[in-house]
Amino acid sequence: MKVAEVLNILSKGIVPSVKWKNDPSGLLVGDMDDEVKGIITALNPTLEVAKEAKKKGCSLIVSHHPLFKKPVNNLVKGDYYSDIIRFLISNDISLISFHTSYDLAKGGVSYLLAEALGLVNIRPMIGINEIADVEVNELYKIVIYTPEEAVTRIMKAVDSAGGASVGNYDHCYFSSNGEGCFRPGEGTDPYIGKKGRIEKVAEVRIETVATAWNKDKVVSSVRSVHPYEEPVIDVYPIENNSGNFGLGAVGELKKKVTIRELCKLISERLRTNTLRIAVKDNNAKISSLAVCGGSGSSSWKCALRSGADAFLTSEFSHHLYQEASKYINIIDATHHTTEQFVKNGLKVYLGSHLEEKCRIYESAKDVDVVKSLTDLN
């Protein structure tokens, strides 16, 4: 099995084109044609993780965080990033990273966090179309005009290309009857009508949807079975979203708890003593929780709008603590602890698709560098 095959498997579940603008994603170090001898999953592709990969005989690291977000101008021994890159290259270890694409995927970073906390009825905290820095619209409307006898095979072509799906529903169409009008010109070979004569034909208008990353495949599939020489196929972005993508997650607790009880639960499930808490109301009963893995402090107003009673994320600033805690209870853990579950999430996903073709390990060396006083020896 080659690196390209693993990348393709990951791309089916974590769509690489749905990400923040200019965010590094995909194969960052290595060779698509290299053989994969073993895989280590990690949150951070550190030098310790790279050495762990070598020790375990793994030739591929799959991580959430990319190795670098800014251009690397030199590779000099002793520099933090340079040492990692030099080690990966010299030991033929490839690196695949899915960063904000995994943040935005349903079942991704924040969903894994919400599930680890035992939340139910989990849904995105922010819809994908509300995020200005995401590169693409999620959904496109596809409109196809066809004679009635071709409707069934056109729908089959759309289905086979992955179109006509919304959430957990597939084969989603609306059709209406109408009259098409055209005049074939010189050099044409019309399916219906004669050259130089205006034709009016009973046609069916088929409406469906496709995602940004497969709309071209859908259109190509339709063209391959459409009877017309020049089929009319309209493609335009729509503002709807499927609920399959978004930032953060919101869910309900199985029973109402105090803020102290909630923080105790979070501490236990995240296996951390490093929590900073800005309390709106000590006496409130918490029934719903918004979470955002990683640095999500700037989205606290979205957590409030979601109806959540408390918001768990990381990296609040002093002034944000003051402002946000007037409206919602804030629980601030470390960046690493809120995203730690991606290691297992990636391992489970790859394991379910590779069918034991390759050894897959969850990194033991990828640990949180931020400690609380009680964690120090």
| Cα 239 from Cα 233, distance rounded (Å) | 19
Would you state the structure tokens that stand for residue 268, as one six-digit string?
């236990």
Contact 172, 164 (CB under 8 A): yes
User: How far apart are alpha carbons 337 and 283 in whole angstroms?
Assistant: 27
- Alpha carbons 182 and 198: distance in angstroms, whole number: 6
Give the span between the Cα atoms of 184 and 204, in whole angstroms: 20
Query: Given a cut of 70, is residue 283 above it in pLDDT?
Result: yes
Measured distance CA(85)–CA(126) in Å, rounded? 35
Q: What average pLDDT score do residues 33-47 get? A: 97
Stretch 312-335: mean pLDDT: 97
Written as six digits, the tokens of 306 are 């979601």
User: How buried is 309 (Cβ within 10 angstroms: 0-12 exposed, 13-18 middle, 19+ buried)?
Assistant: buried
Q: Residues 95-146: pLDDT tens digits?
A: 999 999 999 998 999 999 999 999 999 999 998 878 877 766 678 999 999 9
Report the mean per-residue pLDDT for the chain: 93
At a CB cut-off of 8 Å and minimum separation 6, what does 135 contact? 17, 18, 19, 20, 21
The count of other CB atoms within 10 Å of the CB of residue 30 is: 19
Taking only the tens place, the pLDDT of each residue in 174-203 is 999 999 999 999 889 888 888 899 999 999
pLDDT of residue 148: 94
With CA atoms as reference, report the closest residue to 232 among 206, 202, 193, 197: 206
**Residue 86 corresponds to which amino acid?**
R
pLDDT of 136: 64
Q: What is the C-alpha separation between 209 and 237, in angstroms, rounded?
A: 10
- What pLDDT, in 10s, does the model give residues 295-319? 999 999 999 999 999 999 999 999 9
What's the whole-number mean pLDDT along residues 29-35? 96
For the cut 90, the answer to whether the pLDDT of residue 258 exceeds it is yes
Torsion angles phi and psi, residue 237, rounded to 5? -70, 150
Residue with tokens 């009673």: 309
Q: Does 329 or 12 have the greater pLDDT score?
A: 329
Rounded alpha-carbon distances, angstroms, from residue 34 to 2, 30, 70, 122: 5, 8, 26, 39
Neighbour-count burial of 128, counting CB atoms closer than 10 A to its CB (0-12 exposed, 13-18 middle, 19+ buried): buried
* Under 8 Å between Cβ of 2 and 32: yes
Q: What is the mean pLDDT of residues 7-35?
A: 90
Domains of the chain: 3-102+341-366 (3.40.1390.30), 106-127+246-333 (3.40.1390.30), 139-237 (3.30.70.120)
pLDDT, tens digit, 9 for 90 and up, residues 48-93: 999 999 999 999 999 999 998 777 888 999 999 999 999 999 999 9
pTM: 0.83
- Residue 318's region, left for phi above 0, alpha for psi from -120 to 50, else beta, is alpha
Q: What is the dihedral of CA 262, 264, 269, 272, to 10 degrees?
A: 130
pLDDT score recorded for residue 18: 85
